[in-house]
Chains A and B, each alone.
Chain A
């Protein structure tokens, strides 16, 4: 069964460093999403992406964040200059359409020291 994959599973970085979180969505899906879950808190929407551009973003998704689909399979989230408060689990998801069920990757745990 096709699934969303994410790498790495755990990333540790120093404050101020850039990180890139990678996702491979399900191959025939057209919509891609990033979500964040700070430890002990609920999942929060970051951004949705369709047709090679951002379709919606939350107020969390400020200028230090960017997303890209560099090739036909990967979907990446870049954090330019990490802060301590960026420590969280980051989930990627994909769906066939905007109204369709979203399928989630296993998450990347980001720890900023």
Chain B
């Protein structure tokens, strides 16, 4: 079983739609990253959070430590949001290694 599971694997939506990507994990963590990977391959860190909620522009990330679950929301989605969104956790059980989810490929159609 993967230690970090993301859903959905693929998501296609129309411009303007509210997007939710989910991440569940099975290990003890000190924090969780949401990252964005564009088709060119580069990885950009969007958020790191260990509790509650963070907001940056149209992006909102929430985490529920008790339920071992995090969500990334995008409001008023735009075609430039099309990318792979990756959840990665800092694993307390394995010397604080970053363990990566498989990513969610998001396509926003105009």
Contacts and interface: CB of A to CB of B under 8 A. Distances in A.
A and B: bona fide binding partners: yes
Interface residues of B, number: 24
A25 interface: no
A113 interface: no
Which size bracket describes the interface of A in this complex? 20 to 34
Contact of B44 (A35, A55, A104): A104
Which applies to chain B's interface (DSSP): helix, strand, loop or mixed? strand
Contacts, number: 52
B41 interface: yes
A56 B41 contact: no
Contacts of B101: 42
A73 B51 CA distance: 34
B88 interface: yes
Contacts of A106: 40-42
Nearest to B42: A106
Interface of B: 30-31, 33, 35, 40-45, 48, 86, 88, 90, 94-103
